[in-house]
Amino acid sequence: MLLDVERENRAILAKEAHLVADDAGFDCARQNVSVTQARPLPADLVTPCLVVDRDVLERNLVAMAARVRDRNVALRPHAKTHKTVEIARRQLALGAAGLTVATVGEAEVFVDAGFSDLFIAYPLWAAGERGRRLRALAERVALRVGADSNEGMELLARALVGTPAEVVVEVDSGHHRTGVQPERAGEVAVVAQRLGLPVAGVFTFPGHSYGPGQIRPAAADEGDALQRAATALRRAGVDAGLRSGGSTPTAALVEPAGLNEIRPGVYVFNDAQQVEIGSANWDSVALTAAATVVSRHGSSVVLDAGGKVLGADRAAWATGNGRLPDHPESRVTALSEHHATVAFPADAVLPELGSTVRVAPNHVCAAANLADVLVVIANGAVVDQWAVAARGRNA
């Protein structure tokens, strides 16, 4: 049985080596050697837990703030990634125009914490109780809300008319999730105005940037779709200037001709996905799960951080269920609730039983949503602990 598992692990590692050779845009080989030095974890951590390296986080925050300043676009970071008040405050202190959130629940947490300018970048279905909660928010703070249908606009109008809240028309730039075709943005905006809702502009999420070799074409689609949507609004007689885009992968390629606001979220922490698509490197991964090696067999180890800590997201192109930044040659080949199986090449030196290792989740937003707190470390010591204040506020 064990032998079977090992054979399977080796097959996965061999397949990945082949993948690297196949796709020049998917440079896993480079990512395997890009780690400069292992960052020490404090000795007394109770694992599993999510650990944030304060200095790496700060570097990521400062770099994005500088990038948007250089390009002359506004930054409205998506707070669904970190869900913590402390990081959101730092983002605003570094010049962010406001916050993006995905749900009314997330908005309520940040408004209660004193944030006064929010965009719910989601085609919100504002029926019943949700509509009443939305109106209560709109009466307290500056609020923008997404919509991509006339029916959605009607519900928003019932909830919001009479408040200063604005709506933003979502357009599809190639991710094919939500959003109308850019040429139809004018029609939806006209309906909003007829219903008495002020229109701020248009937004899109270029989620198709998440894939090997996809960042550059998706960034081009993003700018193009927003420009076409802005033209559609002008033709329909709607005077509204916001062109909001942004994913973490495309943020590096932002062109002010296409958009004037970006909403990246993951950039604060980065994760295994960002490394594998080449939009981050191991040195810019600020959040990892600290996990203990609880079992060792052949060329595999088992860690105590399973799917309930790392989250279960795994894109079709991902090389595993998470990565170990200090052992980039290994792969997390299986997750159960409380176990992560990590396969190493046959000649690798395995971490000791009982030792603590760092694991980068595939998708850090999903991992943060599973944690009550983030343990903040600097220079190998715990320096703070932040509540994941908006965790689980999915409605």
Is residue 144 part of the contact set for ligand PLP (CB under 6 A)? no
**252 burial via Cβ count (<10 Å: 0-12, 13-18, 19+):** middle
Tell me which of 264, 322, 351, 361 binds ligand PLP, using CB under 6 A.
264
Task: Indicate the residue among 100 and 341 with the shorter CB distance to ligand PLP.
Answer: 100
Task: Indicate the residue among 240 and 266 with the shorter CB distance to ligand PLP.
Answer: 266
DSSP 32: H
Task: Indicate the residue among 182 and 264 with the shorter CB distance to ligand PLP.
Answer: 264
Upper half-sphere CA count for residue 394 (Cβ side, 13 Å): 5
Is residue 121 part of the contact set for ligand PLP (CB under 6 A)? yes
Closest to 56 (Cα-Cα) out of 274, 311, 260: 274
Closest to 344 (Cα-Cα) out of 90, 32, 31: 32
| One character per residue 161-200, x = contact with ligand PLP (rule: CB under 6 A) | ----------------------------------------
- Cα–Cα distance between 222 and 233 in angstroms, integer? 17
Per the CB < 8 A criterion, the answer to whether 118 and 390 are in contact is no
Size of the site for ligand PLP (CB under 6 A): 10
Task: Indicate the residue among 148 and 304 with the shorter CB distance to ligand PLP.
Answer: 148
Q: How far is the CB of 5 from ligand PLP (least distance, A)?
A: 33
Q: How far is the CB of 369 from ligand PLP (least distance, A)?
A: 12
Residue 305 to residues 290, 321, 338, Cα–Cα distance (Å): 8, 11, 6
Is residue 31 part of the contact set for ligand PLP (CB under 6 A)? no
Radius of gyration of the chain (CA): 22
Tell me which of 48, 131, 182, 246 binds ligand PLP, using CB under 6 A.
246
Is residue 247 part of the contact set for ligand PLP (CB under 6 A)? yes
Summarize as ranges the residues that interact with ligand PLP (CB under 6 A). 78, 121, 205, 246-248, 263-266
